[in-house]
Structure 1
Amino acid sequence: MNKQKQKEFFQQIIEQHKGILFKVARVYCHDEHDRDDLMQEMMIQIWQSVPRYKEQFKISTWLYRISLNVAISFYRKNTTRANRFTVLNEQTSDLYNEEKVETEQQLDLLVQFISELRELDKALILMYLEDKSHHEMAEILGLSVSNIGTKIGRIKDKLKTKFSQ
């Protein structure tokens, strides 16, 4: 792919799939400036990865994989354990529009639960809430489909335990 085609491809995928980048950035950054920085880092990585894109892969899967990898690295670099709860607390309402949490206390418990998850599990929850199939999640995260099912099952079990306490 020549430079002009790379540029056109990059512009096209960013235009068509920018929502993926925004969703991932909102989950991993609560501060608008940090979110902008993360978006820039994701776009740089996508631009650098364009020459290696293989048409056999869905563009959205490829973008999720890149954006999640960049976001997790960014999150680890820039977020301390102490403020992770705050980051997720401000963003949870965006993730759970379809979920009807009955009380504020349950919502707080859910936010706390998610904030305690490892970065990979947060990515799984994000995709699960977007109704991604296990196969899509496996492709994006580079895991087996059965591993995805197991991890989601364990997260659900932890959530049930947390809510029954």
Structure 2
Amino acid sequence: MPEARRETHYRTIAASHGAAIARLAAAYEKDPGLRQDLEQDIHLHLWRSLEQFAEQCSLATWTYRVAHNVCARHVDKAVRSRPAGAWLDIGAVEPEDQRATPEQATGTALTLERLYTLIDRLRPIDRQVVLLYLEDVDAAGIAEVTGLSPGAVATRIHRIKALLAQGFHPEASA
């Protein structure tokens, strides 16, 4: 790919998806320093990967694929230091977060922090699905990025939404 075209594609990605990349990094990494490193790593991999971009999918799909692959590698490294029992199964979740419910919260920041805490506890593939869903990517687009079937994506989204709702309203499951 010519350097000028690569530069144009990268500028388009940075302008269109820069905020989504930042949110993705925030969802995958709580530590601010490591989050910044992860975000920079995503941008670096996007720049390098544009050499192979053959325009067989949309630039947005390419961006999400690369970004989620970088995050998956980041999580893989973190998994080695995380106890095996720390991951949650969608079917058997009882959130342990004891902070105030959104109704009791005084601002959006607490609600987002709570949401990210719950998402962080999901298995990596479920986290990837929900983060793409939160970026308004449809089931077919999520399937293209993750390699799951659209039906499997829709099922996971339904289960994850129920799980997250339970995390905000634990008394509803009792």
Aligned pairs for 1:135-150 (under 5 A) are 135-150=140-155
Give the Cα–Cα distance (whole angstroms) in 2 for the partners of residues 114 and 31 of structure 1.
15
Q: Which runs of 5+ in 2 are unaligned?
A: 88-100, 106-110
Q: Deviations over 1:38-97 (max 9, x none)?
A: 112111211121022132412112111111110121123146437x89xxxxxxxxxxxx
Counterpart position of 1:128: 133
Counterpart position of 1:40: 40
**TM-score where L is the length of structure 1:** 0.72
Give the Cα–Cα distance (whole angstroms) in 2 for the partners of residues 157 and 31 of structure 1.
27
Counterpart position of 2:63: 63
Secondary structure of 1:45's aligned partner: helix
Counterpart position of 1:88: none
| Gap change, CA 1:54 and 1:20, over 3 Å in 2 | farther
Query: What's the C-alpha RMSD, in Å, of the aligned pairs?
Result: 3.0
Say whether the 8 Å CA contact 2:25–2:39 is kept in structure 1: yes
Task: Please state if 1:118 is matched with 2:123.
Answer: yes
| Gap change, CA 1:58 and 1:159, over 3 Å in 2 | same
Quick check: which one's helix share is greater? 1
Give the Cα–Cα distance (whole angstroms) in 2 for the partners of residues 120 and 134 of structure 1.
14
Task: Please state if 1:21 is matched with 2:26.
Answer: no
TM-superposed CA distance for 1:156, in Å, is 4.0
**TM-score where L is the length of structure 2:** 0.69
Counterpart position of 1:154: 159
Q: Which runs of 5+ in 1 are unaligned?
A: 86-99
The amino acid that maps onto 1:65 is R
Question: Identity percentage over the alignment?
Answer: 30
Q: How many residues align?
A: 148
